[in-house]
Amino acid sequence: MQAWLEKVAKMFDMAFVSGERWKLYIKGLGVTLEIALFAAVLGLAIGTVVALMKLSTNKKGGKSIWARVANVYIDIIRGTPSVLQLLIMWFIILKSCKNGVLVAVLSFGINSGAYVAEIVRAGILAVDKGQTEAGRSLGLSKVQTMIYIVLPQAIKNVLPPIGNEFIVLLKETAIVGYVSLTDLTRAANQISSRTYEAFMPLIGAAVIYFVIIKILTILLEKLERRLRKSDNR
Amino acid sequence: MIIVKDLHKKFENNHVLRGVNYHVHQGEKIVIVGPSGSGKSTFLRCLNLLETPTSGEIWFDGQLITDPKVNIDKIREHMGMVFQNFNLFNNLSIMDNITLAPVKLKLMSKEEASENALSLLARVGLKEKADAYPSQLSGGQKQRIAIVRSLAMNPRVMLFDEPTSALDPEMVGEVLDVMKGLADSGMTMVVVTHEMGFAREVGTKVLFMDEGIIMEENTPAEFFSNPQCQRLQDFLSKVL
């Protein structure tokens, strides 16, 4: 028992303490969170715009040119692996850009936007058509009706799936090691290859992801409850 | 005030309106009755272009509003509409429901609009509900608020699309009372309804629509006591 405990303590020391290795995890986590946060904001912005594009109609009530463009974007993004999108962004499209984090943010933001677009579109369609008709019948324009009446109600509809998308995005950033960024996953991996001991670093990184996502989940639930309360339904 | 010429509306292969002609004069209260599927709601929704007519002309105050170049938002400011399902904005308080359009369209300042809203709410006996949300109200209250919301725009004409059809029976009266008050104040109204009592009492003209045309038009007294066409006689024998 004594020997086993000593072994565990040594493993822990190697993985986290000696050489101030814990700093590497924190630095890695910083990169992970930085990419995830900015990509989420970018994805939300792209997704909302693309959702509105996809819902736009031409004068005859058919699909507009904007809707077709949106469809092509969504098809391409959803039809290819995100790792490949990241590699293509890094090695081809933004070859001259030396800021890896920026490339990752763009890549993940553009990727997430396609999924967010479908979520937002569903949220808008779930708002009763009568709300739009009432707005338009009062003389409000299409845009005013969308901004003041439909979107605020759509946000409530989309919060749970958007939260889910953020969580997926946060974990998806674990692939940025492919473009030689040191995020949490890569930091753990590097340490395990330096100490020839995989258990502590990998499990440790997993626990950190888990805790971060648990906190995110709790915050999202709180936000959802608050929005429901003002709803009084 | 509203002139409709040879109005047609097709949905896919369904020819709903097959040539409607009518002239609504200032101050009239036109009540439209007819069996379901007769096109009466579609006709009403064409008047403010919530449905785009397939062909035909609609003139409002001397302006051809079916012309694609017309800014329909401007026209709609002068045409109030009340829906079967109320369609109050669920995300806004009653006060904001009423003031949103006048304020955002820059017709009134926020203060003016609030003041106006409160006096209109007082008129329908719902002043204390200004800060409530739609979900906290009964159907009858919602519909009275929906009428107030339209009135807050000072419309020249009010369109009612089966305003009491989604209400519990005991709430029909309170909504009809508000509509009667509105009629007495001289508002021009076009009302699609199944309330024959209202048609008889308030209407200046009653129209019978079936198969996408206006089959009969008469004063309420003649309409109910002396129906001319067979379809209307059958209809009245079923509903009265």
Predicted confidence (pLDDT) per residue in B199-216, tens digit: 999 999 999 999 999 999
Closest by Cβ to B101, choosing from A128, A138, A153: A138
Closest by Cβ to B153, choosing from A139, A152, A232: A139
Task: Answer positive or negative: Cα dihedral of B202, B204, B206, B207.
Answer: negative
CB atoms within 10 A of CB A57: 11
Ordered per-residue pLDDT tens for chain A, 233 residues: 889 999 999 988 888 888 889 999 999 999 999 999 999 999 999 999 999 999 998 877 788 999 999 999 999 999 999 999 999 999 999 999 889 999 999 999 999 999 999 999 999 999 999 999 999 999 999 999 999 999 999 998 999 999 999 999 999 999 999 999 999 999 999 999 999 999 999 999 999 999 999 999 999 999 988 887 766 54
Q: What is the pLDDT of residue A185?
A: 95
B135 has a chain A CB within 8 A of its CB:
yes
As beta bridge partners, residue B57 has B5
pTM over 0.90: no
Closest by Cβ to B83, choosing from A134, A140, A233: A134
A134 has a chain B CB within 8 A of its CB:
yes
Residues on chain B touching A148 (C-beta within 8 angstroms): 89, 92, 100, 104
Q: What is the DSSP letter of B25?
A: P
Residues on chain B touching A149 (C-beta within 8 angstroms): 89, 91-92, 100
Closest by Cβ to B89, choosing from A141, A149, A231: A149
Contacts of B105 (CB under 8 A, 6+ apart): A139, A140, B77
**Percentage above 70 pLDDT, chain B:** 100
Closest by Cβ to B50, choosing from A59, A128, A133: A133
Residue A194 CA neighbour count, 13 Å, CB half? 14
A148 has a chain B CB within 8 A of its CB:
yes
Identify the residue among B45, B54, B104 best suited for mutation to test binding to A, counting A beta carbons within 10 A and taking the highest.
Answer: B104
Read off the tokens for A15. Answer: 């993985």
Asked if B50 and A232 come within 8 Å (Cβ–Cβ), the reply is no
Judged by CB atoms within 8 Å, which residues 89-118 of B form the interface with A? 89-92, 100-101, 104-105
Residues on chain B touching A231 (C-beta within 8 angstroms): 90-91, 133, 135
Residues on chain A touching B80 (C-beta within 8 angstroms): 137-138
Residues shown for chain B:
240
Residues on chain B touching A135 (C-beta within 8 angstroms): 89, 101
Query: Which range has the top average pLDDT, A105-109, B8-12, B234-238?
Result: A105-109
Residues on chain A touching B157 (C-beta within 8 angstroms): none
- Whether ipTM tops 0.90, in short, is yes
Asked if B104 and A152 come within 8 Å (Cβ–Cβ), the reply is no
Three-point CA angle B230, B236, B239, nearest 5°: 145
Q: What is the pLDDT of residue A34?
A: 96
Rg (CA), chain A: 22
Residue with tokens 């339904």: A233
Residues B47, B48, B49, B55, Cα dihedral to 10°: 20
Q: What is the pLDDT of residue B162?
A: 95
CA distance A146 to chain B (A): 12
Residues A59, A62, A66, A69, Cα dihedral to 10°: -150
Read off the tokens for A195. Answer: 């100490």
Residues shown for chain A:
233
Task: Decide if B79 contacts B155 (C-beta within 8 A).
Answer: yes
Indicate the pLDDT class of residue B135, thresholds 50, 70 and 90.
very high
Contacts of B28 (CB under 8 A, 6+ apart): B188, B189, B204, B205
pLDDT greater than 90 at residue B183: yes
Phi, psi for B140 (deg, rounded to 5): -65, -40
Task: Decide if A205 contacts A25 (C-beta within 8 A).
Answer: yes
Amino acid present at A122: A
Q: What is the pLDDT of residue B173?
A: 93
Average pLDDT over residues B171-196: 95
DSSP letter for each residue of B135-149: GGS-HHHHHHHHHHH
Q: What is the pLDDT of residue A230?
A: 62
